[in-house]
Amino acid sequence: MKKLLSLVMTGVIAMSALTACGGSSTGTSAAGTTETSAAAAAAAGSGATSGEEVVLGTGGTTGTYYAVGGVMATVLNPLMQNSHLTVTSTGASKANIQLIDDGDADMAIVQNDVMSYAHEGTDLFADEGAYEKFAPVCGLYDETVQIITCSDDVKTVADLKGKTVSVGDAGSGVEFNARQILDAYGLTFDDIKVVNASFGDSADSLKDEKIDAAFIVAGAPTTAVVDLSTTKAVHLVELDDEHIKALQDKYSFYTATTIPGGTYTGVDADAKTVSVRATLIASTNLSEDVVYEMLKTMFDNKDALAQGHAKFELLNIDDATKGITIPFHPGAKKYYEEQGITVQ
C-alpha cells in the first residue's frame, strides 16, 4: 500500500514540475511571487556543491514549504561539506512522510501533528499504520489555528454549535484540528453543519455569508484572511486557557499561541489560540554527521536565511524542540545537547 502511494506521489511531483515550467500560478502567501522565484532558483541549483545529495521534500511550488526549502538550499549548500540539498515539490506533509518511507526523499518539511499521526499510525494514517523511517530534526515556525468569523453571534468555540462551519479540505490536517478543538469544547461534527473547503473558498463563503465560521491553519497573517479583512469585518474566535490545557493534555503537539492585535485589518485585540509547528524531519537512514552539520549550519546562518525568507525570523533554538514528543534524529540530538537542550 505504501509503495503504491509513493508511485502516485512520484506522478504528482512530475506534474508539479510541468506546472512550474508552464509559467503562471497564484501564490498562497503575501510574498507568493518572491517565494516562488527564490525557491525556483534554489531548486535549479546555486553554484558549487559538495558531499552527498539530500533530497528535501517540501510542498506545492506556490506554497511556503517550497519557498522555505529553496532558501535553505541557496544559503546552506555553499557552506556544508557533508551534503547538499536538492529541493523537490511534493504534496506536502503526508506525502513527504510517505516519500521518506519509500526512500524517494531524505528530508522533508511537515506539520508536527501530521508527523505525530504517522508515528502513531492514527488519524490521517489510520488505514496504513505507523511509519518508522523518519525522525524530527527541528521545529521551524508556527502554523496557527485561526477560527475566522464575520458574525457577531460567534464569540467562542461553544457558539459554533448549530452553525455552518468550514473545516478545511476533506481528509486534511485542518479537518483533524477542527475535530480535536471542537471535542475539547464537548462538540462534534454532528453539532455543526460541516463544509469542506480550501482557505480561499472559505474566505469567499464568509464574505458571501454562506458560512458562519472557518478553521484555517497557516502562518498568520494568512493571505486569504488578509484579503477578506479588507472588504468585511472579521473576528478571531479565541480559545481560553482551560480548554487549551485540555487540548494539550490530549494532543501534545499543540502549543499555546497569541495572534497579535493588528495582524488583520480591524482586529485590534490579541487573540489566544494554538498552533502546530512546521517541522524539518529526516530519514533514519541519513547519517548523524549530515543531519548535525545541516542543523548547525542553519542556526549559525539564521540571519542569512531570514534575509531569504521571513519565516526564518521565527527560527529559534528555544522553540526548536517545542511540541515534538517523538525521538529526535541522532544528529539533531547531538546538536541540541551541545546547546544544553535535552531531547529524546
Q: For the whole model, what pTM was predicted?
A: 0.79
Question: pLDDT tens digit string along 4-25?
Answer: 444 334 333 333 333 333 322 2
Residue 248 sits at the vertex; the CA angle it makes with 341 and 164, to the nearest 5 degrees, is 140
Cell numbers given for 310: 521571513
Find out whether the peptide bond into 327 is cis, omega within 30 degrees of 0: no
Task: Look at the block and give the residue holding cell 517523538.
Answer: 326
From CA 280, how far away is CA 110, in angstroms rounded? 7
Residues 154, 194, 129: CA angle, nearest 5 degrees? 120
> Can you give the pLDDT at residue 184?
96
Q: Which amino acid is at 129?
A: G
Mean pLDDT of 201-220: 95
Task: Among 3-17, 196-210, 310-324, name the one with the lowest average pLDDT.
Answer: 3-17
> Quick check: 298 and 315 in contact, CB under 8 A?
yes
Q: Which three cell numbers stand for residue 224?
A: 486569504
Least Cα distance to 98 among 199, 218, 179, 13 occurs for 13
On the question of pLDDT at 135 being above 50, the answer is: yes
Using the predicted structure, report yes or no on whether residue 31 has a pLDDT greater than 60: no
Q: Which of 29-33, 99-103, 233-237, 323-327 has the lowest mean pLDDT?
A: 29-33
CA 197, distance to chain mean position in Å, is 18
The per-residue pLDDT for range 67-120, each reduced to its tens digit, is: 999 999 999 999 999 999 999 999 889 999 999 999 999 999 999 999 999 999
Whole-angstrom distance, CA of residue 47 vs CA of residue 49: 7
Torsion angle, alpha carbons of 286, 132, 247, 275, to 10: 30
Give strand pairing partners of 341: none
Predicted confidence (pLDDT) per residue in 216-256, tens digit: 998 898 989 999 999 999 999 999 999 999 999 999 999 99
pLDDT digits (tens, 9 = 90+) for 268-311: 999 999 999 999 999 999 999 999 999 999 999 999 999 999 99
Q: How far apart are CA 27 and CA 174, in angstroms?
A: 20
11 contacts: CB under 8 Å, gap ≥ 6? none
| DSSP secondary structure letter of residue 238 | P
- What integer is the mean pLDDT of 133-158? 96
Can you give the pLDDT at residue 173? 86
- Residue 15 in grid coordinates: 506534474
Residue 335: which residues within 8 A CB-CB, separation 6 or more?
Answer: 292, 295, 296
CA distances from 157 to 31, 204, 249, 252 (A): 31, 21, 18, 20
pLDDT at 1: 44
State residue 48's pLDDT score.
60
**What DSSP designation does 196 have?**
-
> Is residue 273 within 8 Å of residue 289, measured between CB atoms?
no
Confidence (pLDDT) at 189: 98
Look at residue 50 in the predicted model and tell me its pLDDT.
78
Domains of the chain, start order: 2-140+278-338 (3.40.190.10), 144-276 (3.40.190.10)
C-alpha dist (Å) from residue 190 to 28, 32, 77, 162, 271: 31, 37, 50, 9, 27
Closest residue by Cα to residue 80 from 226, 305, 231, 291: 291
* The pLDDT of residue 341: 96
Helix (H) or strand (E) holding 203: helix 199-207
Confidence of residue 39 (pLDDT cuts 50, 70, 90): very low
Rounded Cα distance, 145 and 286, in Å: 32
Half-sphere exposure (Cβ direction) of 28: Cα atoms closer than 13 Å: 17
Between strands 213-218 and 134-149, the pairing is antiparallel
